[in-house]
Amino acid sequence: MNFEEEIKKGFIRKVKPDSQRAQSLEKSSQQALQTAKSIPLNENSSKTVFRELYESLRQFCESLGYSKGYKFNNHESITSFLDEVLKEKDNSLKFDRYRKIRNGINYYGDTIDISTVKEALKDIPKIIDKIKRLFDKQ
């Protein structure tokens, strides 16, 4: 489903841009990222670390949505926002991959390899930094 279809179906709502909410979500995103980085990574903590990393990325994307005047009613909509509005195809695919991993952990009890968490520990801060730099230029 594309971005406009998601708006029509109510998965994304147009709202008044809200810089205060965007700033608050960006701050929460940074806190979640710092929390994820501060937890010692092992077999018992891997799911928690990954969830915090994903939460950081999701909150950051939500903050961008509020800056642009969009509210996402599901996480899948963030994928099309990154792809079609921000023109970040590669990062939209990465977000969607991490979303699916997180859903597997949360809703199906899936396990996660520590190597996947290590990859996310490197990748998610880079995604956030890249999108932030591009967004700040706009």
d(CA 10, CA 127): 27
Residue ranges of the chain whose pLDDT lies below 70: 137-138
d(CA 134, CA 117): 26
d(CA 107, CA 103): 6
Please state the φ and ψ torsions of residue 15, each to the nearest 5 degrees: -135, 170
Specify the pLDDT at position 1. 80
What class is the 19-137 domain? Answer: mainly alpha
The ranges assigned to domains in the chain are 19-137
- The answer to whether the CB of 75 falls within 8 A of the CB of 34 is no
Specify the pLDDT at position 30. 97
- The answer to whether the CB of 36 falls within 8 A of the CB of 121 is yes
The set of residues, in sequence order, having a beta carbon less than 8 Å from that of 118 and lying 6+ positions away, is 41
Nearest Cα residue to 66 out of 22, 4, 30: 22
Specify the pLDDT at position 125. 98
Sign of CA dihedral 76, 55, 108, 115: positive
